[in-house]
Structure 1
Amino acid sequence: MAHHSSFESLAIYKEATLFSDAILEIICNTSLNKDYKLREQINGSSGSIMDNIAEGFGRGGNKEFIMFLSYSRGSCSESKSQLLRCFRRNHIDESTFNKLNNDAENLINQLSKFINYLKSSERKGSKFD
């Protein structure tokens, strides 16, 4: 894997950003906008996915990065649960739910692969270079 100079260049960060943007789209354009508690929860958890990738990258060490990627994976699972609540409360239709749920599952899988890659890497992180 190439060395990256910024978190913005990471494919996983770009995917997390697209997911967060898709969540914002349903917040702005559905009845979820009026379900204040759930709206804030899903906005927070979807944003946390990308934020934890950025924070972990910024720490400069693989051990810390792995920890923050794990937090991102947890936030992604949290978003999946909240998406199910959105669907059950009729804020989103089944096709929107299925698409976003699949996107979240893909993110979880990508995060897991990235974590496994970092665990097996001999490089300890940029702060050790």
Structure 2
Amino acid sequence: MTRSALSISSNIAEGYERKTAKDYCRFLSYSKGSCGELRSQLYIALKIGEVDTKTAEIWIEESRQLSKMISFLNEND
């Protein structure tokens, strides 16, 4: 989960530093994918009891909101 979460911001930063809008959009897409990966891992962690229900629900919702924000960035580039 830590790697997925770190990939979100790392890909945004890497894409921002690229020279073209096409590269930036591609890395935003990678970031959005990492949000989905994190959400999947959270569902698994919840299922096996590694994360309590309240925390998992909060983090899952936050990852959904972050994914929407990244989509908005990608649409407005």
Tell me the TM-score normalized by structure 1.
Answer: 0.58
**Alignment match, 2:67:** 108
Instruction: Tell me how far apart the structure 1 counterparts of residues 10 and 39 of structure 2 sit (CA, whole Å).
Output: 17
Give TM-score, length-normalised by structure 2: 0.96
The Cα shift of 1:72 comes to 0.2
Equivalenced residues, count:
77
1 CA distance for matches of 2:20 and 2:75? 15
Asked which structure has the greater RCO (Cα within 8 Å, sep 6+), the reply is 2
CA distance in 2, matches of 1:60, 1:113: 20
Q: How far 1:105 moved relative to its partner?
A: 0.1
Q: CA deviation at 1:43?
A: 1.3
Letter paired with 1:117: N
Deviation for aligned residue 1:92: 1.0
Q: In structure 2, what is the Cα distance between the partners aligned to 1:112 and 1:70?
A: 8
Q: 1:1-129, aligned counterparts within 5 Å?
A: 42-118=1-77
Measure the CA separation in 1 of the matches of 2:53 and 2:70.
25
Larger-gyration structure (1/2): 1
